[in-house]
Amino acid sequence: QVQLVESGGGLVQPGGSLRLSCAASGFTGNYYAIGWFRQAPGKEREGVACISSIDGNTYYANSVKGRFTISRDNAKNTVYLQIDSLKPEDTAIYSCAATFNSLAYRCSAPRSVSPPKYAYWGQGTQVTVSS
């Protein structure tokens, strides 16, 4: 059974940085992607980045390009999301999720971070950006 556990959230001042972690376990297939998503109060869930198991290919939503970096440590079965130059509008619950959907796991197009294509979700971690 796929399990995902996020950590690393917290309260950060504007301009600061955070690194979120997603510890993954229970994967039985070789082709999948891990994505990061966020949901701010009163807003829809937004996909921000994903990384493919196939070749490590990454995809970023336009709204976060240049500030967010997704990476993985295969030895630790962990995917990271580095967030730099944090802004108040980055305040949200950040969740990681896994997909085995062939339309998404290559992380090559906007559909790669479409929430409905992800079947397994972590519980989320709160990121609050405030002075």
Measure the CA angle with vertex 72, ends 56 and 10; round to 5°. Answer: 135
What does the mean pLDDT of the chain come to? 95
CA distances from 34 to 15, 125, 128 (A): 26, 16, 23
State residue 48 phi and psi, 5-degree precision: -110, -30
Neighbours of 46 (CB within 10 A): 16
Q: Tell me the C-alpha distance between 2 and 97, whole Å.
A: 10
pLDDT (tens place) for every residue of the chain, 131 residues total: 999 999 999 999 999 999 999 999 998 878 999 999 999 999 999 999 999 999 999 999 999 999 999 999 999 999 999 999 999 999 999 999 999 998 889 999 999 999 999 999 999 999 999 99
